[in-house]
Amino acid sequence: MTSDHFQLQHRLIATRKVIGADGLEKYVTVNIAESPLARLRHRRVIDAMQFDAGERLRRDFTLAGLTPRMGIDLTQPLIRNAGCQRAEAPLTDMVLAAKQRFTAAMRAAGPGLNDLLFDVCCHLRGLEEAERAKGWPVRSAKVVLAIALDRLADHYGLRIRGRARLRGWSKEQAS
């Protein structure tokens, strides 16, 4: 059995329409098994709204340049100040806006939930790995992730809000 055969059996290939840097739409083939959120969406553990909220958080994390680096970033421009010392390049408006959106989203999710969102959406860790790292019971991360993604969707305004019927929980309100 070759490694190609092994890789093929663990892929979930799909075609997606994306907008390129030139503004034109094109179709690309993606492996949706690479993302834990995409796998959960494919297995219908989370719904489309929760998936979109998680992907939006991941996009802001990536655009903000918060991914860990394993070495020197040679793509950054070299800026020297008057003393010929290397100075930090100013961040672009896009990066700053993405950092602000990411920070606001993590703050809206709240403590405890934002840790799991960070692991699953940003660092692409599986639910089992997150449960082991946090010492949680088996299959508990699935429920916590659903709550966290719902709170994130509320923050992003993805949930459709309408008129809901108010229910009374006391004996006086029920009559």
Q: Residue 65, CB half-sphere, CA atoms under 13 Å: how many? A: 10
Q: Which residue's structure tokens are 């790292």?
A: 133
| 87-109 tens-digit pLDDT | 555 678 888 999 999 999 999 99
The pLDDT value recorded for residue 144 is 96
What are the start-end ranges of the H helices in 64-138? 93-109, 113-117, 127-134
Alpha-carbon distance 170 to 175, whole Å? 9
Contact assessment for residue 90 and residue 126, using Cβ atoms and an 8 Å cutoff: no
Residue pLDDT tens, the chain, 175 long: 456 777 677 677 878 787 776 778 888 887 877 889 988 998 999 999 999 999 999 999 998 988 877 777 666 666 666 555 555 556 788 889 999 999 999 999 999 899 999 999 999 999 999 999 999 999 999 999 999 999 999 999 998 766 656 566 666 655 5
The pLDDT value recorded for residue 1 is 47
**Residue 157: left (phi > 0), alpha (psi -120 to 50), or beta?**
left
